């Protein structure tokens, strides 16, 4: 146990080396003879696509996994970590990609967990809280020690994670994709904190697949691809494009969709009002329409009604007022199944919750909606050979990388699951497509592919609503951009009509008229 970790002075980590690390998972070589080193005071970025093996590598440094082969040296001494307790003892801290927090505990309890108290066996949360406040001040990590974790925003939760590591006296802190869940403003705050920590003598490993962040924060960068090191060099000596090529293994060309003459109105929404999960109004009267062959991008900070809008259009959330028309037919009160029959397709935001069934195979997931279609039935029986052929065709056409059609979908990477869901939805040749966060958590290669597919669908005449928190994605793909703020549309602009700054202002709740006034 990490006895006395909070009080005892830890050794200062001057240098960490991971040499020839090999780590297998069933069927996957996650780390293949990886060599990696960090020196005191540097911010070392670990860059790579999803599934490259970054988390796996770092989990070995934090004692969560044992390397199958290879060595870990700290200050030139070999170390074997049997559990995180050993790594913590050695002065290593880790902020996990999925936070390791206990929602029903207070901040102070989360921090104190696993540590000896000054009044053992009794907890001394007052003392813990006092130290948390001191650390908060020192590093600009503003949190209330007595707040319950479930009350905190994602950004605040991350601060708690950092405090946990600092509290334990970690001198080397691993941050696994810390920005994935943050808003741009929160990312800035985080970087301020990280810079203070470095100034204080901490060493950081910063994992990301976002290039501009890596360029901004790191002093050295290592690129990992398919479990192997592709290269390491000082950040100052390398360009963004070179890094992308190292990550993806090939050139990635930016998209530039051609303007299309859009057709008749396919989807029309009038005065849509919807309740959110907590009984508050999520949409307060939304109007817009989408034409055939048009992509409308819905921009906004998450939590402003995007999810509710998508669910309402898909027919899985009840509308309190307003109308939804598809090709002039009122579908407001139809259930999902009927809407699908009419020509609506839906790529949900929570793909593993709403779009697929974890333990079902790839093939079974392809037929989630269509199992009763007469195409695949003989009377009451399913026509398995025809289903298999079709699933096979989709998997090939959409480049889904899967060991077999019978692999449970949970074993696929995020990008491949998303491609499969898209394949399924697009195979019906929908008239309207609702794509909610289609590339969140998806690697660059798959993102590029999904974008191409969306544009292709647009050319085939589908009306597409693209909901995304990634403004770059919206700006590249959309013909028109609508900005949602607190359940209302702040404005709809043509692709080239508005700057990022203007859209950003609307996202913050400034009306379109005022935005245009302010910025012109």
Partner 1 sequence: MNDVFQLSVIAGILTSAIRLATPYLYAAIGETFSQRSGVVNLGVDGIMLIGAYASFYIVLITGNIWLGLLAAIIAGLLMGLLMSLISVTLKAEQGISGIGLYMFGLGLSSLLFKTTIGTVKTVTGFQSVKIPLLGDIPVVGKIFFDHSLLVYGAFLLIPLAWWVLEKTTWGLQIKSVGQNPAAADSLGVNVDRMRYTSVCIGAILAGIAGASLSISLLNLFQENLTAGQGFIAVALVYFGNWKPQGILWGALLFSTVNAFQLWMQVLGVKIPSDIAIMLPYVLTIAALAVATNRVRQPAALNKPFERGES
Ligand X SMILES: Nc1ncnc2c1ncn2[C@@H]1O[C@H](COP(=O)(O)OP(=O)(O)O)[C@@H](O)[C@H]1O
Which of ligand X, Mg ion, partner 1, none does residue 265 bind to, with CB < 5 to 8 Å depending on kind? none
* Distance from C-alpha of 410 to C-alpha of 352, rounded to nearest angstrom: 8
Interface with ligand X (CB under 6 A), residue total 11
Q: What is the DSSP string of 131-199?
A: HHHHHHHHHT----TTSBGGGS-HHHHHHHHHHHHHHTT-SEEEEESTTTT--HHHHHHHHHHHHHHHH
Phi/psi-derived region of residue 126, left when phi > 0, alpha when psi is between -120 and 50, beta in every other case = alpha
- In 3D, which of 470, 446, 353 has the Cα closest to residue 51? 446
- In 3D, which of 349, 346, 294, 315 has the Cα closest to residue 469? 349
Binding of partner 1 by 94 (CB under 8 A): yes
Which of partner 1, ligand X, Mg ion, none does residue 52 bind to, with CB < 5 to 8 Å depending on kind? ligand X
Which of partner 1, ligand X, Mg ion, none does residue 150 bind to, with CB < 5 to 8 Å depending on kind? none
Q: Work out how close the CB of 278 gets to Mg ion at its nearest, in angstroms, rounded to a whole number.
A: 31
Which of ligand X, partner 1, Mg ion, none does residue 28 bind to, with CB < 5 to 8 Å depending on kind? ligand X
Q: Work out how close the CB of 352 gets to ligand X at its nearest, in angstroms, rounded to a whole number.
A: 14
Among 18, 44, 55, 217, binds ligand X (CB under 6 A): 55
* Distance from C-alpha of 512 to C-alpha of 520, rounded to nearest angstrom: 12
Binding of ligand X by 52 (CB under 6 A): yes
Which of ligand X, Mg ion, partner 1, none does residue 51 bind to, with CB < 5 to 8 Å depending on kind? ligand X
Footprint (CB under 5 A) of Mg ion, residues 50-79 = 55
Binding of partner 1 by 305 (CB under 8 A): no
Give the interface segment with partner 1, choosing from 41-49, 98-106, 315-323, 469-477 (CB under 8 A): 98-106
Binding of ligand X by 384 (CB under 6 A): no
Q: Determine contact, residues 139/162, Cβ cutoff 8 Å.
A: yes
Question: For residue 121, is the peptide bond before it cis, meaning its omega torsion is within 30 degrees of 0?
Answer: yes
Binding of partner 1 by 96 (CB under 8 A): yes
Binding of Mg ion by 235 (CB under 5 A): no
Q: Work out how close the CB of 177 gets to partner 1 at its nearest, in angstroms, rounded to a whole number.
A: 14
Binding mask 153-172 for partner 1 (x = CB under 8 A): -----------x--------
Binding of ligand X by 50 (CB under 6 A): yes
* Distance from C-alpha of 179 to C-alpha of 306, rounded to nearest angstrom: 21
Binding of partner 1 by 102 (CB under 8 A): yes
Question: Is the Cβ of residue 54 or residue 202 nearer to ligand X in the bound state?
Answer: 54
Q: Determine contact, residues 487/282, Cβ cutoff 8 Å.
A: yes
Binding of ligand X by 28 (CB under 6 A): yes
Question: Strand 281-291 vs strand 265-275: parallel, antiparallel, or unpaired?
Answer: antiparallel
Give the chain's largest Cα–Cα span: 74
Q: Determine contact, residues 10/170, Cβ cutoff 8 Å.
A: yes
Q: Determine contact, residues 487/283, Cβ cutoff 8 Å.
A: yes
Question: Is the Cβ of residue 96 or residue 475 nearer to partner 1 in the bound state?
Answer: 96
Binding of ligand X by 67 (CB under 6 A): no
Q: Work out how close the CB of 81 gets to partner 1 at its nearest, in angstroms, rounded to a whole number.
A: 11
State the virtual CA torsion across 124, 130, 131, 137 in degrees, nearest 10. Answer: 160
* Distance from C-alpha of 39 to C-alpha of 172, rounded to nearest angstrom: 10
Question: Strand 265-275 vs strand 228-234: parallel, antiparallel, or unpaired?
Answer: unpaired
Question: Is the Cβ of residue 411 or residue 427 nearer to partner 1 in the bound state?
Answer: 411
Which H or E run includes 117? none
Give the interface segment with ligand X, choosing from 51-59, 66-74, 105-113, 121-129 (CB under 6 A): 51-59
Residue ranges binding ligand X (CB under 6 A): 25, 28, 30, 48, 50-56
Residue ranges binding partner 1 (CB under 8 A): 1-2, 5, 59, 62, 64-65, 83-85, 88, 94, 96, 98-105, 109-110, 112-117, 120-123, 164
Residue ranges binding Mg ion (CB under 5 A): 55, 97
């Amino acid at each position: 146990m990490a006895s006395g970790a909070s009080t005892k002075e830890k050794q200062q980590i001057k240098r960490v080396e991971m040499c020839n690390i090999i780590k297998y998972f069933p069927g996957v070589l996650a780390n293949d003879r990886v060599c990696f080193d960090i020196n005191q005071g540097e911010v070392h970025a670990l860059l790579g696509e999803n599934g490259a093996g970054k988390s796996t590598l770092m989990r070995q440094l934090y004692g969560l996994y044992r390397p199958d082969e290879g060595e870990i040296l700290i200050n030139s001494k070999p170390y074997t970590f049997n559990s995180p307790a050993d790594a913590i003892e050695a002065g290593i801290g880790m902020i996990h990609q999925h936070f390791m927090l206990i929602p029903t505990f207070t901040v102070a309890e989360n921090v104190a967990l696993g540590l000896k108290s000054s009044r053992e066996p009794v907890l001394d949360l007052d003392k813990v809280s006092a130290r948390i406040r001191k650390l908060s001040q020192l590093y600009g990590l503003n949190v209330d020690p007595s707040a319950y974790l479930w009350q905190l925003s994602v950004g605040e939760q991350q601060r708690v994670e950092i405090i946990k590591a600092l509290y334990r006296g970690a001198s080397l802190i691993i941050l696994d994709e810390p920005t994935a869940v943050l808003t741009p403003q929160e990312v800035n705050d985080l970087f301020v904190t990280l810079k203070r920590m470095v100034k204080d003598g901490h060493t950081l490993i910063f994992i990301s697949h976002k290039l501009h962040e890596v360029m901004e924060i790191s002093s050295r960068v290592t690129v990992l691809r398919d479990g192997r090191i592709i290269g390491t060099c000082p950040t100052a000596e390398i360009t963004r494009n070179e890094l992308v090529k190292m990550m993806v293994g090939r050139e990635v060309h930016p998209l530039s969709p051609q303007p299309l003459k859009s057709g008749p109105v396919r989807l029309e929404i009038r005065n849509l009002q919807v309740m959110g999960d907590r009984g508050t109004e999520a949409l307060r009267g939304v109007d817009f329409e989408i034409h055939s062959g048009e992509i409308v991008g819905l921009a906004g900070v998450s939590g402003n009604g995007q999810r509710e809008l998508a669910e309402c259009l898909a027919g899985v959330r009840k509308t309190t007022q307003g109308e939804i028309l598809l090709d002039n037919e009122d579908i407001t009160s139809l259930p999902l199944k009927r809407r699908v029959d009419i020509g609506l397709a839906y790529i949900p935001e929570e793909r593993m919750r709403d779009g697929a069934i974890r333990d079902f195979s790839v093939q079974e997931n392809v037929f989630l909606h269509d199992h009763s279609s007469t195409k695949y039935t003989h009377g009451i029986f399913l026509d398995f050979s025809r289903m298999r052929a079709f699933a096979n065709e989709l998997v090939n056409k959409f480049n889904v990388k899967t060991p077999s059609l019978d692999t449970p979908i949970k074993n696929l990477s995020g990008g491949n699951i998303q491609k499969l869901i898209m394949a399924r939805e697009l195979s019906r040749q929908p008239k309207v497509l609702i794509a909610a966060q289609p590339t969140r958590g998806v690697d660059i290669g798959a993102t590029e592919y999904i974008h191409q597919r969306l544009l292709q669908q647009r050319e085939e005449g589908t009306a597409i609503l693209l909901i995304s928190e990634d403004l770059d994605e919206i700006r590249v793909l959309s013909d028109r951009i609508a900005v949602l703020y607190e359940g209302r549309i702040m404005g709809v602009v043509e692709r080239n009509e508005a700057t990022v700054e203007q859209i950003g202002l609307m996202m913050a709740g400034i009306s379109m008229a005022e935005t245009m006034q302010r910025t012109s």
